[in-house]
Structure 1
Amino acid sequence: MKDSVIILSGGMDSTTLLYEMQERIALAVSFDYGSNHNAREIGYAKLHCRRLGIRHALIRLDFMHDYFKSSLLDGADAVPEGHYADDNMRSTVVPFRNGIMLSIATGIAESEGLKYVMMANHGGDHAIYPDCSPMFVKAMSEATKAGTYPGIEVLAPYTELTKADIARRGKDLGIDYSETWSCYKGGDKHCGKCGTCVERKEAMKEAGIDDPTEYED
């Protein structure tokens, strides 16, 4: 039964969730908020939705680029290099991004007569992104449930998983991760040095996947 909207970036995590939950997904929603890498991600989001026959919607959030402060919105040179565990990675936070996207997706779900909104946050996100934490997911789900007539809930099945766990699921599903985008710099190739590139490399290696990503380095 098609009962869900999914927030689909076009990265490894949300693409894996798209394939894993495809039988339940009525609509995939991508958001263009003006980040360095949005265009690269969204192209892959559209590709996978076409392949699976899932309806796709693109929503522009231009105000975030105009009013929010984040290195993801300030050009490739502003994005720090290193590991997510490094303190400088906090500059990549886009304030309350997931809260805004979940709110919009919830309104769409209610308008479409659907029951759930899916997101693909994971355990590695918690330390740096407050709007990926288990506490946030629980609170948002309570809010969407209370604030909609059908009692729409947030489904975030990867919240306690590592990115390597997700990559293993993708491997079992036969997903070609060369058709996903992670790099925060958004160049022609993955830079291989920013936090999300480093995390991508580590996850592939731990999952036993021959990394198909083309890196600048």
Structure 2
Amino acid sequence: MPDTSFFGDVEVFGLAFREFAPGWHHAALVFTDIGSSDLRLLHLGGHYDFRNDPLEAGYQMVPCNDFSTDELDLLAELAQRVWRQSGSKVPYNFDYDGTQAFDIDLSFMADDGRGLTCATFVLAFFHLYGLAIVDVASWKFRPEDLRWQKRIYEIFEKDLDVEHAARMKANIGTAARFRPEEVIGSVSRFEGVPIHFERARVIGTEFMSELHSL
């Protein structure tokens, strides 16, 4: 069990995590609109299925305790702006490389079949804010993620254009998976220096251990 809990209350901006089934996890941002105290989820639900939803039961809140009140306000505002610009128009893919994913106008840059997962959207959002949460180059493909990648491809294949389908299929068995628990846990433990893959694996284990003890 880590010394400091991952979980807690979120008032303006933070993170949300949900375990639908063992190994099937979801990461989201949680924020309030200007003039409202109601929390909303900003997350990638699937291929061209970027969502701004009311917070629903089943999610655990993860506050960003090391961010100042002013920073949390700015992050909440950025979340609103990303949604207003992108709408649902964020595609899905596995091969996140850590480079800027959103253009200067906050629209997603989807050239050449590029896409995100629910977890890499969180990383791309913080990158847009100027923060590299993890050391992307240190991430490795794990054979146990092959089944997940194959299943995701099967779900989305019918909705993909030729270019996007080819790129996603080529990523199966090669692209490193940024697991939601490792990403959200890393945001919670971030201290200004990108977190290496091996450290994130430990953080992810601690995160799930605490989640299952709640």
TM-score by length of structure 2 reads 0.28
Higher helix share: 1
- Compute the TM-score of the two structures, normalised by the length of structure 1: 0.27
Quick check: which one's strand share is greater? Answer: 2
